[in-house]
Each structure stands twice: as structure tokens, then as C-alpha cells.
A and B are shown apart, each in its own frame.
Chain A
């Protein structure tokens, strides 16, 4: 009987560091809080967690300034409530749940009913980091990822988009996503499955359209 080893990432040419990056994103033990949940524990995670939460909020809200406000509000709430978190709770999932609630409140407050995450490719290009240190091929692939993911996210309703981001971008488990979103485990799996279908369809369409 042939046993298949677990595959963490698909190997990509000339990108030996990508597998490490994915593993670091998913299995980073520093986000698992077996230690008591207190301000010190959360403060120790802040520098690592805050950029990820900000990216999550920017993906949900589609507005940099609004996302920055939401980030501050989310962490203020988190620090005020940290003593209520049961010991052993993974703080990352808990903070992402707060961030998602804050984003919903901000959207309601601003009366935004339409999808806000529609960005032009040109604007995306301006936001791409300075990657001169990377190879031209890597830059092209990164740029392609920015365009494809953003297009796919723009097609998704807010709930499904949040679930997909928490799973693929921030590496939360299905259980953590269920708690953060207030959903059943089955609903989380269904929503993420459908979101990934949209992502793959967008990727296929993008590759088909590239000459």
C-alpha cells in the first residue's frame, strides 16, 4: 500500500522560500495562547498580529483609512476584554472575530450596502510593494496573485469573503472561523468551499485571458 505524504504547499519553480512562508503563516505557534490570556500575552502578539488584522480589515472594508480606524477599535476592544478570554483560547482567532464585528459595525454606520472591494488593476499596481530585490518572475507572480485574489474577493459577498480570508490568508482553523463568524462548522466548510470555487474560476479566467 502506497502512503502519500501530506503536502503543505505546491512547489513552485525558483521559489524555495514560499513553502516556508506558508508554513509560517499557518502553523505559527506564537498565535496559540496556551498561556493565560492577559494584556501581556496580547501585547506580545500585537506587532505580529496587527498587520494581518489590518490587511483583513482592508480586504473587508476596501478602504485604507476606514480599515485603520477599525484596527484601532478592534484592538482597543480586545485589550479591554482580554481578561474575559478563557485560558487556552487562540488569541488570533478571537481578535479576528472582534475585527470582523467592528468592520460590520462600521459598514452599517456608513450605510454601505454595496460591495466596496472593487479596485482597479492600476490602483493595485500602486499598492504593490517595492520588490526590486526579487526576481522579475517572482514579481510577476506576486502581481498576478494580487490581481487574481482581489478580483475573486470582489465577487464574493462579505460573509463568504471574510471566511475565505480567515482560512487562506490568515490560516485559521475551521473551528476558529466558526467561532469568529458565529456559524456552524458545516456552514463554514460550505462557504469556504464555494469561495474557493470562485477563486479558482477567477484564476482560470485570468490565465485564459493572458496572451
Chain B
């Protein structure tokens, strides 16, 4: 036994001695008869041995709480999707365009093809159809001039590219 442990046990024994003295000093309390306790235990109705009511309530509350959490998560996801749809970025374009010049966000969002502007506080910005690039996530995107949509030869996907300048001889 280490010295620390021995010391700790000695201190605890000293503390415990206080409680022993106290227990001895206090009047011994009178307790109910065992028969009365047993009779009271037998007289109580027994619960259903299946799932206790308390557990059933807890399970039901847990299910309700889980459903509420799912609703909140779904609503949050929808809101995020709508917000994301409003921040429309043009494609980066080719490497010759300085970084930053090609990245431009439309706020409000680019309108769906065929949609009309609805006034000064329009919900979307009309962009010429020639600049629209169909994206895989269904959100309309548009190239920022001077970039233009160019279809890739391999997968026919549209991307924004700078129109190659005509070189003069």
C-alpha cells in the first residue's frame, strides 16, 4: 500500500469515526413494523408487466421530439436551398480572364428562362437567353460578359468561355 493511500485511508477512518460517534449519540429512531411495510407493498396494485407506462410516455415523447427535429431540419434545408438559388455565380471562364472579373453574382437571382421581370423590386434579373447556362442543380446560371456559353466537345455541357479575339495579320 502506498503512503498516500495509507494516509488517505487513515484520514477517511478519522472522518468516519465522527459519523459513528454521531450515530451513537443520536437517539435510535423508531421504524415502522415490517408487517406494516409488507402489507403496504402487497396492497398496491401491480402495474402491467409489459412496457411500463412511464417508459411508454418517454418513447412517445421521444418520437414527437424526433419528428419535430426532422421538420425543423427539412424547413432549414428548404430555406437554404432558396437562399442558394438567389446567389447565382457565373462560371469562372477560361484561365485568361483575371480572377474576380469572371466571378459575379446576380442579386436577385437570374430568372428562369422565359420569365419576365416584374418591376423595380423584381424577384429575378432577366438575362439574355444566349448567356444562360443550364446547370446540373437546376438553378439557372448565366455567363458574365464578356464570357459566353460554350459547349464542351466531350460531354456537351455548357460553360462560360471568353470569345477568342480575332487576331489581325
Binding site for B on A (CB under 8 A): 3-4, 6-10, 12, 18, 21-22, 25-26, 39, 43, 46-47, 50-51, 54-55, 58, 64, 68, 71-72, 75-77, 79-80, 127-131, 139, 141-146, 148-150, 165, 168-169, 171, 196, 199-200, 203
Contact = CB atoms under 8 A, between A and B. Distances in A.
A9 B19 CA distance: 12
B18 A149 contact: yes
Contacts of B36: 72
A144 B22 CA distance: 8
B46 to A, nearest CB: 8
Contact of B25 (A58, A71, A142, A200): A142
Contact of A55 (B12, B13, B14, B23): B23
Interface string B8-34: 011111111111111111111101101
B38 A79 contact: yes
A201 to B, nearest CB: 12
Contacts of B27: 127-130
Prevailing SS type, chain B contact patch: helix
Given A142-B21, A145-B21, A10 B13 contact: yes
Contact of B3 (A4, A12, A68, A131): A4
Contact of B15 (A55, A64, A76, A199): A199
Which 10 residue pairs are nearest across A and B when measured between Cβ atoms?
A142-B25, A145-B21, A79-B41, A50-B31, A169-B19, A145-B22, A129-B27, A10-B14, A9-B13, A76-B41
Contacts, number: 127
Interface residues of B, number: 34
A128 B26 contact: yes
Contacts of A50: 31-32
A146 B25 contact: yes
Given A43-B38, A71-B32, A143-B25, A168 B14 contact: no
A64 B1 CA distance: 42
B6 A12 contact: no
A71 B34 CA distance: 12
Contact of A128 (B18, B25, B31, B32): B25
**Residue with the highest number of chain B CB atoms closer than 10 Å, among A21, A139, A168:** A168
